[in-house]
Amino acid sequence: MVSLMQTMLSLDGPLNSILLQMGIISERISYLSQPELFRAIAVLSDLWKGVGWGSIIYLAAIASIPQEMYESAYMDGANRFRRIIHITIPSIMPTIVILLILSVSGILGSNFEQHFLLGNKMVSETAETIDTYVFRTGVQSGRYSYATAIGLATSIVSFCLLLAADRTARVMTQGEKGLF
């Protein structure tokens, strides 16, 4: 994925070529060397990676809904929007809650590989995350105990976020949905 992003965003990559041909930019831009663009690039590429997996999960959840429910709602006069609101969303709510809980627990995880490989000296301050800091401190500087302590603290905070998200999901769904 990082190699694809580097190719697409390079000076002679397709993004610069398309924008030049359309007249949107007058000279080529080095996107990966600009700190103000790094966060947007990281977020967009992370979304791009996650959309496929999320689509598979949600389509599988939607496919498990009995068609009789949709048919009876159609016979009762429910339009497409009403069927989505009253059948689809409540039926896939357990999947939504579980994926939300798991994503909240991983919020401190920064997709280490992406930040480490996309980052360079010009965007190092912007690209620095807890995971890359732990790597640089532990492996590159040799401060293993300090890096381990930071990693442990991050794991404890992530676990607390997991429990808080689970409790919040239970409260919001009147105790019906949650992991624990």
| Top-level class of domain 34-172 | mainly alpha
In this structure, the number of other CB atoms found within 10 A of the CB of residue 23 comes to: 7
pLDDT digits (tens, 9 = 90+) for 2-26: 888 889 998 888 999 999 999 998 8
Residue range(s) of every CATH 1.10.3720.10 domain in the chain: 34-172
pLDDT digits (tens, 9 = 90+) for 164-179: 888 888 887 777 766 6
Distance CA 155, CA 105 (A): 9
